Amino acid sequence: MHSDESVLWERLAQSRRAPVEPSWLGEIYSLSLSIDLRRAICEKLGMLAAKGWPIIQLLLEKHGLEPDLVMAAGLCHQPESRDWLVQQLHSGEQHDDNLQLSLVQALSCWGADVPQNIVMDCLNHPAQQQRLAGLQLLVFRAYTLNDQTLLDLCEPALQDFRDPVVIAAIRLLQRRDGAAIAKRLSELSETGSDSISDAAIRALGCIGTSTSQRCLLEISQSLTNEKRRTMACQQLAQQFRN
C-alpha cells in the first residue's frame, strides 16, 4: 500500500467524528488506487445519499461503468440512481458478466420497483450468481404474484443443475402455502440431490398446511431413500406436535 493511501485510509476512518465532504471523496477517487480503497470511497459516497449521487454521476461520466461506482449508485438509494441503473440494463449494450451482475445487485435495494423483465432476465441467465441475484430480487416482488406465477418464474432455478440455485428457489417458495407449490416441493424431495431433497422436505415442514402434511405423508411412504423417508417422517411428526 502506498503511503498516500495510508493517509486516505486514516481520513476515512475518522469520518464519523469529522464528516467528509462529497466533493473531497470525488477528488480523491482514482482508478490508480487499490480496489479496496476505491470501494471504501464509493461506500462513503453511497451512504451520503442525495448529496453523494451528483458526485457519483460525475465519476461515472469520467471513469465509465466501474463496478465500485455502480455499487455506489445503488447504495445512495435515489430514484434518479435507480432510473440510471435500469437504463444501463435496458441500453442493449453488451456488458461483461461481472458488470452485469454489479448492475443487478445495485438494484436489489429497490425490491418490487425493479422492472419484471430485469428479474426474468436474471432468472433465465445461465450464470449462477445472476440467477441467485434474480431470486433475491424476486423475494421483494413475490407478494404481488399469485402462487402459479411465482412458481413459473422460479422454475428455471428449480431445474438448475447447481444445488445452491435450487435451494435458494426452494427457500423463496416455502414462504407460500399454495397446493401447487407444496406439490412441486414434494417432487423435488424425490428427484433432487440429497441437499435439495433435504431443503424441499424442510420447506414442506415450514409450510405447515393440510396439503403440505399430505405431501409429507405421501413421500414418507413412497421414498426409497431411507434417510429422506426418515426426514419426511420427522417433519410430519413435528406438524402434529405443533
Q: What is the pLDDT of residue 113?
A: 85
Instruction: Please write the tens of the pLDDT for every residue from 116-135.
Output: 899 999 999 999 999 999 99
Return the pLDDT at 158: 97
Sign of CA dihedral 120, 125, 131, 137: negative
Q: Tens digit of pLDDT for each residue in 195-209?
A: 999 999 999 999 988
Look at the block and give the residue holding cell 423463496.
Answer: 172
**CA distance linking residue 134 with residue 137, whole number of Å:** 5
Mean pLDDT, rounded, of the chain: 92
The pLDDT of residue 144 is above 90: no
Q: How far apart are CA 38 and CA 179, in angstroms?
A: 49
**pLDDT category, 240, cuts 50, 70, 90?**
low
Report the predicted TM-score, pTM, of the whole model to 2 decimal places.
Answer: 0.83
Between CA 142 and CA 131 the distance in angstroms is 16
The percent of residues in the chain predicted with pLDDT above 90, rounded, is 79
pLDDT, greater one: 185 or 237: 185
Distance, in Å, from the CA atom of 153 to the CA atom of 188, rounded to the nearest integer, reads 16
pLDDT for 1-14, tens place per residue? 455 899 999 999 99
- With 90 as the cut, is the pLDDT of residue 47 above it? yes
Non-local (6+) Cβ contacts of 239 within 8 A are 205, 208, 212, 213, 216
- The pLDDT of residue 191 is above 70: yes
Give the start-to-end residue ranges of the domains of the chain. Answer: 1-106
